[in-house]
């Protein structure tokens, strides 16, 4: 077992603000991984804002699993990837979660390897707990979940979560028998924070002589309990089970969420499972249950007591447009106590595409209309790699990639922030734009850290002009005002908001368009004036009656680079904010 633990990492962490690597130029993003091939990757953010990357990549003796750590300012903290495991691995061939970041900022890493293989082959899952200083808290060889005397022909589909008491729950699928055609079961284990195995595998295993169990998902069910979502049978019915702290079922029987109909389409390509904050679970997916070749987007809410939260069976449909729906992602927002979803809709031949979102309450009511909210209109283009994250000021942030070419990818990535109470109020930023045309895929995002920024991660597979095309992992920091990179006192003007948030610039650094928000208790006559630093009037974007409430005003910038003052005059007074035009 070879590991590269960087002794200078602590020193590097002490200079977070001195050597920031994020760039405000969307054409110059952070290269987060060496220019080498890799098989799979994951990203999660820790409570202190450091970002963990987990990678499966080719090494000298086979497939390695490695880690990288990046601080909030964009400093790469390990000079070389921290090699977690270099046993003969099968991780690159198997679906499964690589990385979980716990509440203390430690990385929990899952590896599938053949360290205990016999003459018939065999695989097992091993998990590691690694601190941000590179210390292996569960030992350098980790904890093998199955034990040295239990290996499988095929082990895959790892999913992990941490419970409120600090322990961890793991669930995965395996195939028994002498071939890959053996019966599939779901294994589970719970491990204490200090590495003690707490469950007897025989007591929590999902298995019988006739049924296939696979594709498990686990989330925190509150009060030391775990919710397990799994597929059962050849039709892949979806079920939920709640387990108590000792692994015994809490509900009298498992809850059936969906009654099959996907055929051979694997669940893990379609299903999103997230906690709802009340001990329940939220699921979203797309399926063609009527075999019409028109997939639809669905959502299901499982209450803490195991009851189905919506009145509809087999999930609540999220839109009735009649277009094909793919790649549904969802989350729960505790501030509004609502569910949100994003998905891609396409014509029958998938040559026309658009991006749609939906807001759903816990009774299953579609709050953004029966067809959902159109984020991007139907165009002859491709949209993909969707995600959504909580924003600020009643906003939801929706991330996606767009392919402008139709063959080799001229791909760029975007974020659209939407006010959930006034969906006409939107902000948008393109964070990968540049003259270099390249194939980009696998966009992933983190939840907003400390109300200040998200991190985006994607693959850049090179351009047609490059003779030696290599896989690259690129990253960008997207601030809550949709500016990029590290805020810098030397070249940025801080966002200024009037007392009571009556008038503000949504971004303090702009190029082609500036957006302002005004909030008044009644309809008023208002004038928005733009002045340069010499006091000369540059533009008057608005002069007329301003409606009561929260209103947005746009200025299409037609002025040289520099610092400007935006002044809103109303009967209530005059308020001014600064902004920098690049």
What does the DSSP 8-state code read for residue 91? G
Q: Please tell me the predicted confidence (pLDDT) of residue 523.
A: 87
Whether 455 has a pLDDT exceeding 70, the answer reads yes
pLDDT confidence band for 99 (50 / 70 / 90): very high
CATH for 528:
2.60.40.1930
Give pTM, 2 decimals: 0.79
Angle at 105 between CA 101 and CA 107, to 5 degrees: 45
Q: Please tell me the predicted confidence (pLDDT) of residue 310.
A: 92
Q: Please tell me the predicted confidence (pLDDT) of residue 303.
A: 95
Domains held by the chain: number? 1
Q: Please tell me the predicted confidence (pLDDT) of residue 267.
A: 57
The larger pLDDT score, comparing residue 171 to residue 350, is at 171
- Residue 350 covered by a domain: no
- Residue 538 covered by a domain: yes
CA-to-CA separations, 574 to 532, 567, 569, in angstroms, rounded: 17, 7, 4
- Residue 517 covered by a domain: yes
What pLDDT digit, counting tens, does each position of 500-514 carry? 347 888 777 888 888
pLDDT, average across residues 279-299? 89
- Residue 262 covered by a domain: no
What pLDDT digit, counting tens, does each position of 137-173 carry? 999 989 988 765 555 666 778 999 999 999 999 999 8
Q: Please tell me the predicted confidence (pLDDT) of residue 466.
A: 65
Angle at 461 between CA 459 and CA 467, to 5 degrees: 160
Q: Please tell me the predicted confidence (pLDDT) of residue 357.
A: 98
Distance (Å, rounded) from C-alpha 331 to C-alpha 287?
A: 19
The larger pLDDT score, comparing residue 403 to residue 438, is at 403
Q: Please tell me the predicted confidence (pLDDT) of residue 236.
A: 81
pLDDT, average across residues 178-201? 83
27 exposure class (CB count in 10 Å sphere: 0-12, 13-18, 19+): exposed
- Residue 419 covered by a domain: no
- Residue 562 covered by a domain: yes
Tokens found for residue 111: 């590896």
pLDDT, average across residues 47-67? 87
- Residue 266 covered by a domain: no
* DSSP strand pairing (509-510 vs 573-581): parallel
CA-based nearest residue to 262, from 298, 309, 211, 300: 298
- Pick from 426-430, 478-482, 522-526: least confident: 522-526
Q: Please tell me the predicted confidence (pLDDT) of residue 578.
A: 85
Q: Please tell me the predicted confidence (pLDDT) of residue 494.
A: 36
Q: Please tell me the predicted confidence (pLDDT) of residue 174.
A: 81
Q: Please tell me the predicted confidence (pLDDT) of residue 89.
A: 62
pLDDT, average across residues 319-331? 93
Q: Please tell me the predicted confidence (pLDDT) of residue 479.
A: 95
User: How many CB atoms within 10 Å of residue 276?
Assistant: 23
pLDDT confidence band for 12 (50 / 70 / 90): very low
- Residue found by looking up tokens 């209450």 in the block: 303
91-100, 279-288, 489-498: which is most confident: 279-288
Average pLDDT, the chain: 84
Q: Please tell me the predicted confidence (pLDDT) of residue 152.
A: 62
- Pick from 53-62, 233-242, 337-346: least confident: 53-62
Which domain covers residue 505, as residue numbers? 499-581
Tokens found for residue 35: 């220019």
Write the CB contacts of 528 (distance below 8 Å, at least 6 apart in sequence): 516, 518, 540, 541, 542, 543, 553, 555, 566, 567, 568
pLDDT, average across residues 361-374? 95
Q: Please tell me the predicted confidence (pLDDT) of residue 121.
A: 59
Ordered DSSP codes for 189-242: EEE-TTS-B-S-HHHH-B--SS--EEEEEEEEEETTEEEEEEEETTTTEEEEEE
Whether 214 has a pLDDT exceeding 80, the answer reads yes
What pLDDT digit, counting tens, does each position of 485-497 carry? 987 634 333 333 3
- Residue 532 covered by a domain: yes
């Amino acid at each position: 077992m070879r590991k590269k633990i960087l002794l200078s990492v602590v020193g590097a962490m002490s200079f977070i603000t001195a050597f920031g690597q994020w760039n405000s130029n969307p054409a110059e993003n952070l290269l987060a991984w060496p220019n080498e091939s890799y098989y799979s990757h994951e990203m999660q953010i820790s409570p202190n804002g450091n970002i963990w990357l987990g990678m499966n990549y080719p090494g000298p003796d086979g497939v390695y699993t490695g880690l990288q750590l990046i601080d909030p300012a964009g400093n790469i903290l390990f000079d070389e990837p921290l090699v977690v495991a270099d046993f003969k691995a099968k991780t690159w061939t198997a679906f499964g979660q690589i990385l979980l970041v716990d509440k203390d900022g430690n990385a929990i890493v899952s590896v599938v390897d053949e360290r205990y293989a016999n003459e018939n082959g065999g695989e097992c899952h091993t998990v590691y707990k690694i601190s941000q200083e590179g210390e292996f808290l569960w030992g350098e060889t980790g904890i093998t979940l199955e034990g040295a005397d239990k290996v499988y022909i095929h082990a895959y589909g790892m999913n992990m979560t941490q419970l409120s008491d600090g322990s961890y729950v793991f669930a995965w699928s395996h195939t028994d028998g002498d071939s890959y055609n053996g019966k599939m079961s779901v294994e589970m284990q719970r491990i204490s924070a200090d590495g003690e195995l707490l469950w007897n595998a025989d007591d929590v295993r999902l298995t019988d002589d006739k049924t296939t169990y696979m594709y498990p998902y686990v989330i925190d069910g509150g009060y030391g309990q775990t919710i397990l979502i799994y597929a059962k049978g050849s039709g892949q019915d979806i079920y939920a089970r709640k387990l108590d702290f000792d692994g015994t079922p809490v509900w009298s029987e498992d809850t059936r969420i969906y009654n099959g109909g996907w055929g051979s389409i694997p669940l893990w390509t379609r299903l999103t499972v997230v906690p709802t904050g009340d001990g329940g679970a939220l699921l979203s997916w797309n399926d063609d249950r009527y075999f019409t070749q028109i997939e639809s987007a669905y959502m299901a809410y499982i209450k803490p007591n195991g009851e189905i939260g919506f009145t509809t069976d087999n999930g609540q449909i999220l839109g009735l447009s009649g277009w094909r729906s793919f790649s549904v992602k969802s989350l729960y927002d505790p501030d509004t106590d609502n569910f949100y979803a994003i998905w891609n809709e396409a014509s029958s031949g998938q040559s026309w595409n658009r991006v749609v979102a939906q807001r759903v309450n816990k009774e299953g009511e579609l709050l953004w209309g029966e067809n959902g909210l159109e984020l991007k209109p139907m165009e002859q283009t491709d949209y993909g790699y969707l995600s959504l994250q909580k924003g600020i000021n009643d906003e939801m942030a929706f991330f996606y990639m767009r392919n402008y070419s139709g063959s080799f990818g001229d791909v760029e990535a975007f974020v659209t922030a939407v006010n959930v109470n006034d969906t006409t109020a939107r902000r948008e930023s393109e964070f990968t734009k540049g003259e270099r045309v390249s194939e980009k895929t696998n966009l992933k995002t983190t939840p907003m850290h400390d109300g200040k920024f998200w991190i985006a991660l994607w693959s850049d597979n090179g351009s047609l002009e490059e003779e030696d095309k290599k896989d690259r992992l690129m990253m960008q920091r997207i601030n809550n005002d949709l500016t990029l990179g590290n805020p810098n006192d030397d070249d940025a003007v801080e966002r200024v908001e009037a007392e009571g948030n009556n008038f503000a610039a949504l971004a303090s650094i702009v190029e082609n368009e500036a957006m302002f928000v005004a909030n008044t208790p009644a309809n008023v006559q208002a004038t928005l004036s733009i002045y340069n630093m010499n006091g000369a009037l540059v533009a008057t974007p608005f002069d007329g009656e301003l409606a009561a409430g929260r209103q947005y005003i746009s200025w299409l910038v037609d002025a040289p680079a520099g610092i400007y003052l935006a002044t809103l005059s109303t009967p209530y007074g005059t308020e001014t904010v600064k902004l920098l035009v690049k």
